[in-house]
Amino acid sequence: MPVLRWIRRNLVVIAGLLTLAYMILPNIVVMVFSFNKPNGRFNYAWQRFSLDAWKDPCGVADLCGSLSLSLQIAFWATLGATALGTMIAFALVRYRFRARGAINSLIFLPMAMPEVVMAASLLTLFLNMGAQLGFWTVLIAHIMFCLSFVVTAVKARVMSMDPRLEEAARDLYAGPVQTFLRVTLPIAAPGIAAGAMLAFALSFDDFIITNFNAGSTVTFPMFVWGSAQRGTPVQINVIGTAMFIIAISVVLVGQVIASRRKNNARP
Amino acid sequence: MTQQQTAGGDVRLAGISKTYGSFTAVQPLDLTVPQGSFFALLGASGCGKTTTLRMIAGLEEATTGTVFLGEKDITDLPPYKRPVNTVFQSYALFPHLDITENVAFGLRRRGIKSVKKQVDDMLELVELGDFARRKPHQLSGGQQQRVAVARALINHPQVLLLDEPLGALDLKLRRQMQLELKRIQTEVGITFVHVTHDQEEAMTMADTVAVMNGGRVEQLGAPADLYENPRTTFVANFLGTSNLIEGEIVSTGGDLVVAAGGGKLTLPRERCSAATTTGGRLLLGIRPEKISLAHADDADSIAAGRNRVTGRIVDSSFIGVSTQYVVESPAGKALQVYEQNIDRRAGLLPGAEVVLHWNPAHTFGLDADQDIDAGVESVEDAA
Amino acid sequence: MSLTEAPPAPPADPREPVLRKPSTRKRLVPYWLLLPGILWLVVFFALPLVYQASTSVQTGSLEQGFEVTWHFQTYVDALREYYPQFIRSLLYAGTATILCLLLGYPLAYLIAFKAGRWRNLVLVLVIAPFFTSFLIRTLAWKTILADGGAVVDVLNTLHVLDVTSWLGWTESNRVLATPMAVVCGLTYNFLPFMILPLYTSLERIDGRLHEAAGDLYATPATTFRKVTFPLSMPGVVSGTLLTFIPASGDYVNAELLGSTDTKMVGSVIQSQFLRVLDYPTAAALSFILMAIVLLAVTFYIRRSGTEDLV
């Protein structure tokens, strides 16, 4: 049977595409249901097409407030984790020092720990210190768990950097600061950017650690969580879809610019 | 392009050394590189040549000793304050900058605003004017190499350091770049210090070659001088090939006469770098291309006064311009003989009994208390 | 220049050779670079674990305050009461990890070797779901797996649900609020964490190795078994870890897609901590979970011989 033979020959491709479909399906559902007009409080069953939610994305109490809070936290957490993580990555790759093994473990462990354990133990600390739960405790927690991921991303890039490039800069009259700004940083930039993007995504989307340490502060994921109990407004889907489209466009535009630059550089 | 002679002077290393923990990379070293010369540091990998270069550049801190540039002590100056530039191994061109910006890097760091003219001139000198806006990865190896030279030279350094600059190029391009670098050096008149493991490269390009081994300079001199008058077995074997024959001094009146391999060989006294007392041991050296071959039957026709060794051909390889023979003899198990292919010589086949003969003046003498094979393997490693 | 004319030796340095040591300032640079970040991890990651350990052996109540009494009985009680949730967590997380590997490997392979010029697009599609909050996407599964929905109908018609119900994975003709829904959600949520490391290690494999294996009489299947798969082991190891560890502590999928019968240990810790306010029990549970995961991870890394994950 030619059909069967074709299937056998392309088995990997078919299986891969099915997995891809499995991964994309929920996004399509989220998108489609952003145009729904549900009857009850929950947006789980299709009723009829409507643009209501798109016309008024902030029409639900606290929704846009929680979104803006999440963006703020993600911004500061990214900044903090990227700065601290980049410094650690450089120290690990470029210098010799004592206790390297212990420091490596300290960086690896947060990634090898179920989130709920970190969340619970951090809450114990805050309760013991009598800290006021809210924006600051969430920010502290986010910087903590993003740090290791930034270190890993930046380290990979710095390790593949030729140390002779920095020597060449010093040889060409660039002092330590100039060498760092003109050579080290630009070349390490893709790694730092990857680490920062990862940190932003992790922070923005974090639920478990935030839920433990936010007190009465409500971030966007916490708002979604709460709405799963109280009733899911269509606006959630609108925001989810909008974020998805914005992110995809940014990636695609970036790709186009990159490939055009490559083509222009050719004679 | 003309270059004003920068008032700087010689590079002088005084007692400079480098140790990493318990490992000594460079033994205390005294060395003077005269201004305007093309100086080569030659040696196998790990001999300390690159470390020496990096101490001149300031990229490596000397453990002991002083680096002088002219009369000025620059030992404690960081690399960015030394009037010295480096062409790095595999070039170290900045991947995020185009060719113009790579070349202009040093000028800009010294606060020079109008760099265009100088960059254009420099790219012209290395024949890369058309590539100014390309990124390094868009150039071939040879072009990248020239950018690296331009990037260093544009700063008019008093000394240009080259760390294996041709190592990444293929053989043909390397030959071409050797001539090119030599041309540029003559044109700009800057002192070049060149590190290489390739003895042909060092001899082609440099005025003076320092042969390094085990963290010290074995011998220093002009290429022809090093080749003709090696003072150690390492230099004799590392630069080209030498036949080394061990013998005992029997006479020191006039020329030295040495008993070796069942016969007597003579050499001029001034060509011997070792102590000469009757009864002492000595290593005689003779380059393969200086030896002539004769059939044992024709031995009578050899002129009187020439050194002779009898033996048997065990191997011969035809190379084109020459034929290389390996001869087994009481004087040595595998003596090398290179003979120019002027006429085809019949009968010189493996198994043939032959007489090797040469002008005694071409013989050199070395101290016998040395490893007779020093420097042999390192040539093979480098090849 | 001849030997006798060699440049005159420079005058000897009058000073005794001085050993230069790198300056103290330079030696301290790495420590200054490490200090802020490491301090952060010590104070907000390591120290909390110590606090938690101490809390787990305290007794008392919210009103009177807690005190360290070395009451290890809490651990025994916690395990006795909540062992079903522990077993369930490990079972669900393990199943989801295996499913992720089975589903993710073909896709990673597709991107690495078969996608050609579509490679970047497929990669973007793999990462794209990240851009929508995972809670929203998890809620979407409520719609997909809804009772009487298309998926359930098809599975029902094919009598798949009869089999899964018999196995205890689903209940009669519904999928939502069953173990299958929870595992399905876990698998979905952690698939990218499996695919990306797999892809990274597959992409490093030189395509000529496949040709070489073929040249040396290996069938495609043997080539995969003897060449491709062994070379992708680093990706398999880090992918399974990145899936299993977070999945074992997850309670979002269990809460949103499951029922009270599918509660995982994360849910228990969360409710003990945030609702019941029984801190010692919560801390003990969290500690047991951490110990189990770390032991499993250490054992697994030892077995697979890949210790350079960091």
How many contacts does A have with C, using Cβ atoms within 8 A? 248
| Contact flag B229-C3 (C-beta cutoff 8 Å) | yes
8 A C-beta contact, residue A231 and residue A42:
yes
Mutation target vs C (from B64, B67, B76; most C CBs, 10 A cutoff): B64
Angle at C244 between CA C238 and CA C249, to 5 degrees: 135
ipTM associated with this complex: 0.89
Tell me the fold of B11-228: Rossmann fold (3.40.50)
Mutation target vs C (from B13, B35, B66; most C CBs, 10 A cutoff): B66
The residue whose two tokens read 């496949």 is C210
What's the CA gap between B60 and B40, in Å, rounded?
19
What's the CA gap between A195 and A107, in Å, rounded?
14
Q: Which residues of C touch A15 (CB under 8 A)?
A: 103, 106-107
Q: Where are the alpha helices (DSSP H) in chain B?
A: 49-57, 99-109, 116-125, 141-153, 171-188, 199-205, 223-228, 233-238, 376-382
Residue pLDDT, tens place only, C150-178: 888 888 888 888 888 888 888 877 888 89
Q: Which residues contact A72 (CB under 8 A, 6 or more apart)?
A: none
Q: Which residues of B touch A178 (CB under 8 A)?
A: 80, 109
What's the CA gap between B81 and A46, in Å, rounded?
73
Nearest to A71 by CA among A149, A147, A138, A119: A138
Percent of chain B with pLDDT over 90: 51
Residue pLDDT, tens place only, C53-95: 998 988 877 777 787 888 888 899 999 999 999 999 999 999 9
Chain B residue closest to A187 (CA)? B96
Chain A residue closest to B134 (CA)? A265
- Secondary element (H or E) of residue A103: helix A100-108
**Angstroms from B216 CA to nearest CA on chain C:** 14
Q: Is the dihedral of CA A28, A30, A34, A40 positive or negative?
A: positive
CATH number of B233-382: 2.40.50.100
| Contact flag C12-B207 (C-beta cutoff 8 Å) | no
What residue segments make up the domains of chain B, in order of their start? 11-228, 233-382
* pLDDT exceeds 60 at position C9: no
Q: Which residues of B touch C10 (CB under 8 A)?
A: 12-14, 30-32, 68
**Angstroms from C124 CA to nearest CA on chain B:** 25
**Angstroms from A172 CA to nearest CA on chain B:** 5
* pLDDT exceeds 70 at position B252: yes
| Contact flag C6-B15 (C-beta cutoff 8 Å) | no
Nearest to C17 among B12, B31, B65 (CB): B65
Residue pLDDT, tens place only, B299-358: 888 888 899 999 999 999 988 889 999 999 988 888 999 998 887 777 788 999 999 999
**Other C-beta atoms within 10 Å of B256: how many?**
25
Q: Is C101 helix (H, G, I), strand (E, B) or coil?
A: helix
Of residues A77 and B383, more confidently modeled: A77
Nearest to B92 among A165, A175, A265 (CB): A165
Q: Is B319 helix (H, G, I), strand (E, B) or coil?
A: coil
What residue segments make up the domains of chain C, in order of their start? 28-71, 81-304
Number of H helices, E strands in chain C: 15, 2
Question: What tokens were used for C154?
Answer: 């098809």
Q: Which residues contact B139 (CB under 8 A, 6 or more apart)?
A: B99, B131, B147
What residue segments make up the domains of chain A, in order of their start? 61-232
User: Which mean pLDDT values do the consecutive 10-residue runs of chain A (267 residues) have?
Assistant: 84 92 93 90 86 87 92 97 95 87 91 92 92 95 96 91 91 91 92 92 94 93 92 91 88 81 57
* pLDDT exceeds 80 at position C144: yes
8 A C-beta contact, residue A138 and residue B72:
no
**Other C-beta atoms within 10 Å of B347: how many?**
10
Domain C81-304, CATH class in plain words: mainly alpha
Question: What tokens were used for A195?
Answer: 């680490």
Question: What tokens were used for B128?
Answer: 């890369």
**Angstroms from C189 CA to nearest CA on chain A:** 9
Question: What tokens were used for B212?
Answer: 């390094």
The residue whose two tokens read 């703020």 is A72
Nearest to C3 among B17, B28, B221 (CB): B221
- Contact partners for chain B, using 3 or more CB pairs closer than 8 A, are A, C
Q: Which CATH superfamily is domain A61-232 in?
A: MetI-like (1.10.3720.10)
Nearest to B92 among A167, A174, A178 (CB): A167
Amino acid at B147: V
| Contact flag B15-C19 (C-beta cutoff 8 Å) | no
**Angstroms from A76 CA to nearest CA on chain C:** 15
- Contact partners for chain C, using 3 or more CB pairs closer than 8 A, are A, B
